[in-house]
C-alpha cells in the first residue's frame, strides 16, 4: 500500500508540466512582439551624443519622405555598429571618414572619398558626401593647467612626463589614437587611464587627470573651458561626418536615400556644437533633431515627445519580450536535457559542463558574437539570454532527480509502472521543488542580463541605463535600473506562489521542517 502513495500524490496535477506549459506560453506571447515592420528604414547610431542626434535627424527626414523608420540608438562602439550594418541589421548610420580610414580599414591605406567609396562598395555599402562639418580628434587640457605648465602643442608633452592622461577605452586601442600618437611624438607617458569619454571630461574638470582626447565638436570644450593642443606633427587625420548606408537601400527605398542625402553639405560645425550642448544637458535627441530639421529644411517633426509613463510601458514590454522568449526556450530545452543528464551520468557531466562554459563567457562578448550570425535586435539578444538560462534549469533538474531516494523508484518499478509513467507521475513531481528553484534562478539572471540587450538594439530597461551612463545622468540610469530590480522581485514572488501550487504538499512541509 505504501508503495502506491507517491504515484497517487503525483496524480493531483503536480509535476513539471506546468513548467512546460509556462515555457510555451512565454514563447507564444513574446515572439510575435519581436517582429518588426519589413519596410521600416533602420537607422543606427554609436553610443555618443553626436551620432545619436544625427541619427534622429536622418529619421525626421525619412519620415518626411513618407517612410516608416526604426531608430536603434546608442548601440555601442564603431566596430559593433559597422558590423550591424554589414549584417543587414541596419540600413544607415552616421560615421566619420577618418574612422573608416584608420579603424574600419586599418592597414589598407584607404584615404579620400573615392577610395573609401570603392572599399565600402565591396561590402555592399555606400557613403554620402560629407555632411558639412568635421569632428576631429585632438588632445585637450584645462586652460589654467596648460598655462601653468606652458603646454601649447602635443610635442610640449614630451617635457612633462608627470602629466596624467585619461582617454576613452576606444582611443587607447585605435591606431589613430594613443598607440600611434605615442609613437609619432615619442611621448614618455606610459600609463594612461581608460574611462568613458564623458567621464574623462568630468575627471579633467575635477583635476583627476591633466589631458584627454577631445572631439572638436564636443560642447564640453566650451563648457569646461578647455584648450586644444596643436597637432604640430599632423598626426590626426580628417574626420568628416558622412552617412554610411546599405547600397541595396537604393532599390528598396530610393526615397529614403534621397531624403537623407539632403544633409550633404547642410550641417555646420556650429549647428552640431549647439546640438551637442543640448544633448549633453539631457535634452531629448529626437526633439533636438526636430528643431534642426525645422530650422534648416522647414520640416515639421512628426514624432511626438514620449511621456515617462508611455516610455516605461514600452520598455517593460520590450524587456518582458526578451525575458519571456529566452526563459520559455530555456525551459523547453533545459528540462529534457536535465532529465537526460540524470539518466546518463557521463553524458550529464558533459552537458552541464558545456552549459557551465557558456555561463563563463562575458555576456557582452556573447551578444557581440551573435551579430554576424543573427544581426542586431531582439533575436540575437533572446538567443544569448537563452544560452545563459540553460545551466540553472538543467543542473537543478538533474540534481533533483538524482536526489530521489532509491526506495521510491524501486517501489514504483515493483508496481509495474512504465518508465514514462514513473518519470511524469513520480520522479518529476518529487523533483519539482528543485526544478522550480532552477527556473527561478534562470529567470532572475535573465532579467538582469537582458539589460545588456540595449547594446545591440534590443531595447528594454537597458536602454535608459546605457543612455544614463553615456550622459552621466543618474535619473536616466535609475529609470531603467529600478524597474528591472522591481521586476526581479515580482518574479521571485510569483515563483514562491507557483511553489505553493505545483510542489506536492508533503515536500513543502518537509522543507519547512
Which of 6-15, 171-180, 403-412, 434-443 has the weakest average pLDDT?
Answer: 6-15
How much is the pLDDT for 37?
A: 43
Report the number of distinct structural domains present in the chain: 3
pLDDT band at 89 (very low <50, low <70, confident <90, very high): confident
Cell of 511: 522543507
* 320 and 244 housed in the same domain: no
How much is the pLDDT for 174?
A: 81
Residue 276's domain comprises: 41-133+239-297
In terms of Cα–Cα distance, which of 260, 252, 26, 34 is closest to 129?
260
CA trace torsion 312, 316, 317, 321 (10° rounding): 150
* 277 and 258 housed in the same domain: yes
What does the mean pLDDT of the chain come to?
84
* 354 and 426 housed in the same domain: yes
Which of 131-140, 156-165, 252-261, 424-433 has the weakest average pLDDT?
Answer: 424-433
* 337 and 258 housed in the same domain: no
* 212 and 289 housed in the same domain: no
Tell me the pLDDT tens digit for each residue of 136-158.
889 999 999 999 999 999 999 99
What are the backbone dihedrals phi and psi of residue 99, each rounded to the nearest 5 degrees, phi first?
-65, -40
How much is the pLDDT for 304?
A: 56
pLDDT of 507 over the 90 cut? no
* 186 and 64 housed in the same domain: no
In a domain, 234, yes or no: no
User: Which pTM does this prediction carry?
Assistant: 0.68
E strand or H helix at 141, and its extent?
strand 137-142
In terms of Cα–Cα distance, which of 444, 446, 483 is closest to 463?
483
CATH number of the domain that residue 285 is part of = 3.40.190.10
Crossing angle of helices 285-297/49-64, nearest 10°?
50
CATH number of the domain that residue 195 is part of = 3.40.190.120
In a domain, 303, yes or no: no
Tell me the pLDDT tens digit for each residue of 353-362.
999 998 888 8
pLDDT of 486 over the 90 cut? yes
pLDDT of 228 over the 90 cut? yes
Last residue of a domain, one of 209, 229, 249: 229
* 142 and 7 housed in the same domain: no
* 27 and 175 housed in the same domain: no
Inter-CA distances, 41 with 62, 92, 249, 477, Å: 8, 8, 9, 28
* 129 and 141 housed in the same domain: no
* 211 and 244 housed in the same domain: no
Asked if residues 80 and 158 have their Cβ atoms less than 8 Å apart, the reply is no
CATH number of the domain that residue 414 is part of = 1.10.3720.10
Whether the CA torsion 243, 247, 252, 255 is positive or negative: it is: positive
Q: Give the mean pLDDT of 97-115.
A: 88
* 81 and 214 housed in the same domain: no
How much is the pLDDT for 87?
A: 83
Amino acid at each position: 500500500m505504501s508503495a502506491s502513495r507517491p504515484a497517487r500524490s503525483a496524480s493531483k496535477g503536480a509535476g513539471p508540466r506546468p513548467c512546460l506549459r509556462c515555457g510555451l506560453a512565454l514563447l507564444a506571447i513574446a515572439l510575435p512582439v519581436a517582429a518588426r515592420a519589413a519596410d521600416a528604414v533602420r537607422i543606427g547610431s554609436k553610443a555618443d551624443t553626436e551620432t545619436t542626434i544625427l541619427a534622429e535627424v536622418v529619421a525626421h527626414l525619412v519620415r518626411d519622405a513618407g517612410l516608416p523608420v526604426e531608430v536603434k540608438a546608442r548601440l555601442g562602439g564603431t566596430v559593433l555598429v559597422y558590423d550591424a550594418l554589414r549584417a543587414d541589421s541596419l540600413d544607415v548610420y552616421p560615421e566619420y571618414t577618418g574612422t573608416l580610414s584608420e579603424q574600419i580599414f586599418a592597414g589598407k591605406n584607404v584615404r579620400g572619398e573615392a577610395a573609401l567609396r570603392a572599399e565600402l562598395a565591396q561590402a555592399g555599402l555606400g557613403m554620402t558626401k560629407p555632411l558639412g562639418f568635421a569632428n576631429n580628434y585632438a588632445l585637450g587640457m584645462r586652460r589654467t593647467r596648460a598655462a601653468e605648465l606652458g603646454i601649447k602643442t602635443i610635442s610640449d608633452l614630451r617635457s612633462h612626463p608627470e602629466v596624467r592622461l585619461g582617454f576613452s577605452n576606444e582611443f587607447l586601442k585605435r591606431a589613430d589614437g594613443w598607440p600611434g600618437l605615442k609613437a609619432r611624438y615619442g611621448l614618455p607617458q606610459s600609463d594612461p587611464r581608460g574611462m568613458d569619454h564623458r567621464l574623462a571630461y568630468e575627471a579633467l574638470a575635477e583635476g583627476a587627470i591633466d589631458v584627454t582626447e577631445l572631439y572638436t565638436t564636443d560642447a564640453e570644450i566650451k563648457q569646461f573651458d578647455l584648450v586644444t593642443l596643436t597637432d604640430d606633427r599632423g598626426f590626426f587625420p580628417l574626420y568628416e561626418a558622412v552617412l554610411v548606408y546599405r547600397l541595396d537601400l537604393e532599390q528598396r527605398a530610393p526615397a529614403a536615400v534621397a531624403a537623407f542625402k539632403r544633409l550633404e553639405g547642410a550641417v555646420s560645425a556650429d549647428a552640431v556644437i549647439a546640438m551637442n550642448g543640448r544633448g549633453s544637458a539631457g535634452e531629448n535627441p529626437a526633439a533636438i533633431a526636430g528643431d534642426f530639421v525645422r530650422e534648416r529644411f522647414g520640416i515639421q517633426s512628426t514624432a511626438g515627445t514620449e511621456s515617462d509613463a508611455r516610455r516605461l510601458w514600452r520598455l517593460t514590454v520590450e524587456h518582458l519580450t526578451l525575458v519571456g522568449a529566452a526563459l520559455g526556450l530555456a525551459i523547453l530545452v533545459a528540462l529534457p536535457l536535465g532529465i537526460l543528464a540524470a539518466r546518463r551520468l557521463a553524458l550529464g557531466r558533459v552537458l552541464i559542463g558545456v552549459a557551465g562554459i557558456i555561463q563563463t563567457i562575458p555576456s557582452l562578448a556573447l551578444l557581440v558574437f551573435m551579430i554576424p550570425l543573427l544581426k542586431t535586435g531582439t533575436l540575437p539578444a533572446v538567443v544569448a539570454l537563452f544560452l545563459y538560462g540553460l545551466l540553472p534549469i538543467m543542473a537543478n533538474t538533474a540534481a533533483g532527480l538524482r536526489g530521489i531516494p532509491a526506495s521510491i523508484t524501486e517501489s514504483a518499478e515493483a508496481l509495474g509502472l512504465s518508465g514514462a509513467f514513473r518519470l511524469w507521475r513520480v520522479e518529476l513531481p518529487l523533483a519539482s521543488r528543485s526544478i522550480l528553484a532552477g527556473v527561478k534562478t534562470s529567470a532572475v539572471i535573465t532579467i538582469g542580463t537582458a539589460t545588456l540587450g540595449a547594446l545591440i538594439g534590443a531595447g528594454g530597461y537597458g536602454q535608459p541605463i546605457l543612455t544614463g551612463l553615456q550622459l552621466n545622468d543618474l535619473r536616466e540610469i535609475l529609470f531603467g535600473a529600478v524597474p528591472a530590480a522591481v521586476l526581479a522581485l515580482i518574479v521571485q514572488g510569483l515563483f514562491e506562489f507557483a511553489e505553493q501550487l505545483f510542489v506536492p504538499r508533503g515536500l513543502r512541509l518537509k522543507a519547512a521542517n
